[in-house]
């Protein structure tokens, strides 16, 4: 294997390609400060000159990143730290992303209908839209003329399509210049600040066109930064300062409700935390222990129903009201008991048989609470009507159902429950991290990789699997206690295997697989994406399961280890290019007494 310079896709000198890419990005950037439409019918008000708005902002950000990476290709001092893996492939991706966002905006304006039902058409476009579109097109075409160093076999003559795909792949990140410890901590803090701003911007999008553009921009931008090696560099810093990273993540999450003035958007954040916490509990069962649980949402329902029954709701047949801490313990204990009762007879099964049994348990739970209506069975859950009118919590004299002014910021009901759920999330993260790094966690991983071998090494597989099942159920029960109060009511239809509205078992399992099994942040990222996208794009509700399946198929094809992968998964699903034996190492055949050259 030797390193060759991949031929450019367009016959341009490298210096000319860099210059043209820079000029195109600058032109696209300048166009965002001009008006793009004549009418304000299209949302975002793109009629203002000198003040970008709506989708113009996304083109501005993408064009700015393209310009920075193009300047880094010119060798501008100070930008090298941002591109340890090279600048050519990230520049191509960012230029392509700028063009896609701009073209999407132009098409969205053209097909937009006015109040009379007529299409706006091309006549509604101002020169600014054409300037940005032409600049983005010039940048993406010129970027195809940039060279890229790729490891190719001496005898390989790649197909043009493969050459294009290779041009998007950057070499491995180089060794970074050492930074002082305080500078590394500042980089981590700044990274989480940027992540908070990007996430908040996505939640605050007010219309579908802007959110679709946001998804396009984030997709291309994140992929480009990954190709540049910047994400790997920041990941190395976070692994080096793990406690600082957790503290920065907690602070960034704590600041989120203070950035929200819309109660609906704060509620989206609270629900994301609830489902992300449940997904992290499922990650104990699926990601660490390797137990495929298709009925996990039932444990969330057990915790929610237990908390609702003792919440003081006028529709609760029990008619008692526990303090919140007692309701939390009741929900967690009920889920723990159900986890042990269900796990004890079923965890001796493996693979598909275990999955079928857990799927049956999830359906049995839903049918059972639906039947406890006083007619088909005891009057305990009010059947299909569920338990409504669950009162808001009051902690230390602080009513979570009313708005409060804190430091000049107004925190509404959803923000209050978001902060409460953040505490639960921090507890679950701590439990997951400690258990995963413990002797028990390593035994879970051994069982996941090969249960027979783990048993042969003295590991009590059944006891440890039961422990994982019980722990995952308890964590789901904790989240269920908060979910019952956030939603005001619990009904059997909320806890299905698959449904149009999360949570459901399919949603939670998809979040774990999409984010990355066995990782700490993977399920949090996966749950946030899978909840946020349908919540912002209402027309996708009817196609949610189809899109879940399509996303999983694409993920298994292109990134089987998930969006956030640990080192074990990367080695398992990707070839490293390393040989098992160095090619010149002599191998001794002890049986024949001869020596062979290693292959």
458 φ/ψ sector (left φ>0, alpha ψ -120 to 50, else beta): left
Rounded Cα gap, residues 355 and 293, in angstroms? 6
Q: Tell me what pLDDT residue 586 has.
A: 44
Q: Tell me what pLDDT residue 51 has.
A: 87
Q: Return averaged pLDDT per consecutive 10 residues of the chain, 599 residues in all.
A: 46 78 93 88 84 90 91 70 73 92 91 72 84 94 74 40 44 55 88 90 87 91 86 86 88 87 85 90 88 88 90 82 87 91 84 86 88 79 84 81 79 88 90 88 89 89 90 91 88 79 78 84 86 79 74 78 71 53 42 39
287 with 222, same domain? no
Q: What is the CATH number of the domain that holds 343?
A: 1.10.3470
Q: Is residue 591 part of a domain?
A: no
H or E stretch including 596? strand 594-597
Residues 6+ apart with CB under 8 A from 102: 28, 59, 129, 132, 133, 136
Assess contact for 362 and 294: CB atoms under 8 A: yes
Q: Is residue 491 part of a domain?
A: yes
204 with 279, same domain? no
Q: Tell me what pLDDT residue 104 has.
A: 93
228 with 268, same domain? no
Single residue among 509, 525, 548 that ends a domain in this structure: 548
Domain coverage including residue 396: 262-402+410-548
Domain count, the chain: 2
Q: Is residue 6 part of a domain?
A: no
143 with 221, same domain? yes
Taking alpha carbons only, the member of 556, 351, 341 closest to residue 447 is 351
Cis amide leading into 54 (omega within 30) = no
210 with 348, same domain? no
Classify residue 287 by its DSSP letter. Answer: I
339 with 430, same domain? yes
Q: Is residue 323 part of a domain?
A: yes
Residue 249 vs residues 193, 229, 256: alpha-carbon distances, Å: 9, 21, 11
358 with 478, same domain? yes
367 with 477, same domain? yes
Residue 379 phi/psi, 5-degree rounding, is -85, 95
Rounded Cα gap, residues 447 and 284, in angstroms? 13
Q: Tell me what pLDDT residue 77 has.
A: 64
212 with 341, same domain? no
Q: Kindly report whether the global pTM for this prediction surpasses the value 0.85.
A: no
The angle formed by the CA atoms of residues 185, 190 and 196, to the nearest 5 degrees, is 130
H or E stretch including 304? helix 297-309
Beta strands in 317-377 (DSSP E): none
The neighbour count for residue 498, using CB atoms within 10 Å, is 13
Rounded Cα gap, residues 137 and 142, in angstroms? 8
Q: Is residue 253 part of a domain?
A: no
Q: Tell me what pLDDT residue 316 has.
A: 82
218 with 280, same domain? no
Taking alpha carbons only, the member of 464, 446, 566, 554 closest to residue 510 is 554
Residue 586 phi/psi, 5-degree rounding, is -70, 135
Q: Tell me what pLDDT residue 568 has.
A: 66
Assess contact for 527 and 580: CB atoms under 8 A: no
Q: Tell me what pLDDT residue 594 has.
A: 40
Q: Tell me what pLDDT residue 41 has.
A: 79
337 with 203, same domain? no
Q: Tell me what pLDDT residue 139 has.
A: 93
Q: Tell me what pLDDT residue 443 has.
A: 92
Q: Is residue 247 part of a domain?
A: no
140 with 15, same domain? yes
Q: Is residue 559 part of a domain?
A: no
Q: Is residue 106 part of a domain?
A: yes
């Amino acid at each position: 294997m030797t390193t060759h310079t991949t031929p450019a896709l367009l016959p341009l000198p490298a210096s000319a390609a860099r210059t043209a890419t820079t000029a195109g990005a600058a032109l696209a950037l300048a166009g965002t400060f001009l008006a793009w439409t004549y009418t304000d019918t299209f949302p975002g008000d793109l009629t203002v000159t000198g003040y970008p708005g709506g989708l113009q902002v996304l083109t501005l950000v993408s064009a700015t990143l393209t310009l920075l990476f193009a300047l880094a290709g010119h060798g501008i001092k100070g930008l090298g730290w941002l591109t340890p893996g090279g600048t050519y492939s990230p520049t191509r991706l960012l230029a392509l992303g700028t063009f896609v966002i701009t073209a999407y905006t132009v098409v969205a304006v053209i097909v937009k209908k006015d109040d009379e039902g007529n299409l706006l058409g091309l006549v509604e476009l101002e020169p600014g839209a054409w300037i940005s579109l032409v600049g983005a097109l010039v940048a993406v075409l010129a970027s195809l003329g940039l060279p890229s160093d790729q490891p190719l076999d001496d005898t390989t003559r790649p197909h043009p399509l493969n050459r294009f795909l290779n041009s998007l792949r950057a070499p491995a990140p180089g060794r970074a210049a050492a930074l002082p410890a305080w500078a590394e901590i500042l980089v981590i803090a700044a990274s989480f600040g940027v992540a908070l701003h990007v996430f908040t911007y996505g939640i605050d999008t007010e219309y579908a066109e802007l959110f679709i553009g946001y998804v396009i921009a984030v997709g291309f931008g994140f992929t480009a930064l990954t190709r540049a090696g910047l994400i790997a560099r920041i990941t190395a810093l976070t692994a080096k300062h793990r406690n600082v990273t957790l503290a920065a993540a907690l602070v960034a999450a704590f600041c989120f409700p203070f950035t929200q003035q819309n109660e609906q958007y704060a509620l989206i954040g609270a629900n994301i935390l609830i489902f992300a916490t449940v997904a992290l509990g499922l990650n104990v069962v699926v990601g660490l222990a390797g137990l495929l649980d298709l009925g996990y949402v039932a444990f969330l329902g057990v915790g929610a129903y237990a908390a609702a029954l003792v919440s003081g709701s006028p529709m609760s047949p029990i008619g008692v009201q526990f303090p919140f801490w007692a309701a939390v313990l009741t929900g967690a204990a009920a889920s723990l008991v159900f986890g042990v009762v269900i796990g004890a007879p079923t965890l001796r099964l493996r693979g598909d048989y275990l999955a079928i049994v857990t799927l049956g348990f999830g359906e049995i739970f839903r049918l059972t609470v639906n039947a406890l209506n006083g007619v088909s069975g005891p009057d305990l859950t009010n059947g299909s009507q569920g338990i409504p009118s669950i009162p808001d919590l009051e902690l230390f004299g602080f009513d979570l159902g009313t708005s409060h002014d804190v430091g000049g910021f107004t925190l509404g009901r959803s923000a209050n429950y978001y902060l409460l759920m953040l505490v639960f999330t921090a507890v679950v993260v701590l439990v997951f991290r400690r258990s995963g790094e413990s002797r028990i966690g390593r035994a879970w991983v051994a069982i996941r990789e090969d249960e027979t071998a783990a048993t042969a090494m003295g590991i009590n597989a059944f006891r440890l699997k039961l422990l994982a099942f019980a722990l995952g159920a308890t964590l789901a029960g904790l989240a269920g206690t908060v979910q019952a109060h956030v939603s005001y009511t619990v009904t059997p239809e909320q806890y299905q295997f698959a449904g149009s509205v999360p949570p459901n078992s399919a949603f939670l399992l998809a979040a774990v697989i999409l984010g990355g099994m066995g990782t700490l942040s993977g399920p949090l990222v996966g749950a946030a994406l899978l909840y946020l996208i349908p919540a912002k794009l209402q027309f996708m509700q009817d196609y949610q399961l189809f899109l879940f399946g399509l996303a999983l198929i694409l993920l298994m094809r292109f990134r089987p280890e998930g969006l956030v992968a640990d080192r074990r998964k990367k080695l398992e699903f990707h070839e490293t290019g390393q040989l098992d034996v160095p090619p010149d190492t002599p191998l001794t055949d002890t049986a024949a007494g001869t020596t062979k050259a290693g292959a």
